[in-house]
Amino acid sequence: MQAHILLTADIHVLTGLRIGGASGGLAIGALDNPVIRDSLTGQPYIPGSSLKGKLRSLTERLFGLPLTQPIKRSHPVVEIHVCKAQGDGNPDYVECPVCPVFGVPGDHYPTAPTRLIVRDTFLQPSSAEQLRSMPTDTLYAEIKWEAAIDRVTSAASPRQIERVPAGAVFGPCELVYTVYEPRDVDRFWTVVRALALLEDDYLGSYGSRGSGKVRFENLTLTVRPRAQYDQPAAQLPQRTFDSVDALLAAREEVLAWLREAAGLAGQTG
């Protein structure tokens, strides 16, 4: 390990956010589609797996990578891209924009460490207090009614969807990126690009019906070289940005700063 790059940001919910939890079951009055909640506080949260999975999926779609690895044998089968042998549209692992950053299953070739860790993200205390004081349908959440329409009979099939209301703020979310070799600094931009892709897409479910639009604000980059693990974190170099667009606009400057802060200035992959 050469260094860690820590990216934190606030996640602003612009339209109702739904990331599903366990079903309410068959009890009378039970909610069909509840949001996932922290078992200690009862507050909704954003699982790191949901955020990382969406960032990976959007990057796979951006580059048109083949989906080669089933991760859920259901109907339909859920698949992700994992580099295997070259050919048939499979890029080499070293050049792949997805596998070195987001990882591959441990029992698959090529085995290599995952660069990106994504933590669970919880409601900001001020946002939780605001939601608790509002007349919401459920604690910290709203109920959105929808209806599927039969195109032949026009019969409606109503359903309930629990969502975190627009205006809620989660954060700071925390993404930890490990630098193992000089070219990993350039690969870090895959993460930044994926955040921009997500802002134009959606997080969670029911995005095509209006849910899940989010925006990342107050981004902070912190670099901790391996030599600095003997020093307090407060002394580490940092850069802050108001938005993903502001970070994107400073790409070359930021990459040069990351190399310098990681102790890799002048080194290439």
> How is the chain split into domains, by residue range?
3-62+99-261
Asked if omega into 110 is within 30° of 0 (cis), the reply is yes
Q: Quick check: helix, strand or coil at residue 180?
A: coil
User: Alpha-carbon distance 213 to 225, whole Å?
Assistant: 35
**pLDDT band at residue 15 using 50, 70 and 90 as cut-offs:** very high
Q: Are 94 and 100 in contact (CB under 8 A)?
A: yes
For residue 75, the model assigns a pLDDT of 62
232 contacts: CB under 8 Å, gap ≥ 6: none
pLDDT tens sequence across 99-135? 999 998 776 666 678 999 999 999 999 999 999 998 8
Least confident piece of the model among 18-22, 215-219, 247-251: 18-22
**Shortest CA distance to 138 belongs to which of 226, 31, 213?**
31
Backbone phi and psi for residue 216, each to the nearest 5 degrees, phi listed first: -95, 130
**pLDDT band at residue 269 using 50, 70 and 90 as cut-offs:** low
pLDDT tens sequence across 160-189? 889 999 999 999 999 999 999 999 999 999
Q: Are 61 and 80 in contact (CB under 8 A)?
A: no
Q: Report which secondary-structure segment, H or E, holds 183.
A: helix 183-187
**Shortest CA distance to 112 belongs to which of 122, 98, 129?**
98
pTM of the complete model? 0.89
